[in-house]
Amino acid sequence: MVVDLCREKPLVLYAFTTDEQLAKRIAENTSSGGMCINDTVMQMGVDTLPFGGVGSSGMGAYHGKASFDTFTHKKSCLIRNFAAIGEKLGSGRYPPYTDGKLSFITTLMRKRNGPSLKYLPHLIAFALGAGVAYGIATWQKMSSEQI
């Protein structure tokens, strides 16, 4: 197969074929910075497609948002104050470590999941039903008072 003849990680891989399955196989079984099927350099004209290499052909991607992401670094920053209440509550973080402190630290470090939305449709249906029942009861009460 011709794919065997290409460099390990080219900057761009150009393939010319009318066979869609072959094009798909080439795309899935090769690693390159970019790929263009049945054309050359047209991918450079589409500014939403990142352009850049992988491995020995280069690192990073350029064009549009990809350029911004390549040349920026998202830096995390935590600023902790030393308020007395916070220090007292967090004193379990400091040595000497007892079994209780280790349990406390383990609890703090455990990945916590947010509230489950699994039963939200049921809760909405219940709330709507309760609202309709309240509305009917109120309407009946108002109707009986008018008679």
- Residue 71 pLDDT: 67
Q: What is the separation, in whole angstroms, between the first and last Cα of the chain?
A: 90
- Report pTM: 0.40
Cα separation, 7 vs 17, whole angstroms: 19
Q: Which amino acid is at 132?
A: V
User: To 5 degrees, how large is the angle CA 130–CA 135–CA 139?
Assistant: 150
List 62's β-bridge partners, or say none.
51
- Residue 75 pLDDT: 55
How would you write the pLDDT of the chain (147 residues) with one tens digit per residue? Answer: 555 556 677 878 888 888 888 888 888 888 888 888 888 766 766 767 777 777 666 666 666 777 777 666 565 566 666 678 877 877 777 788 899 888 888 887 777 777 778 888 899 999 999 999 999 999 999 888 876
CB atoms within 10 A of CB 49: 16
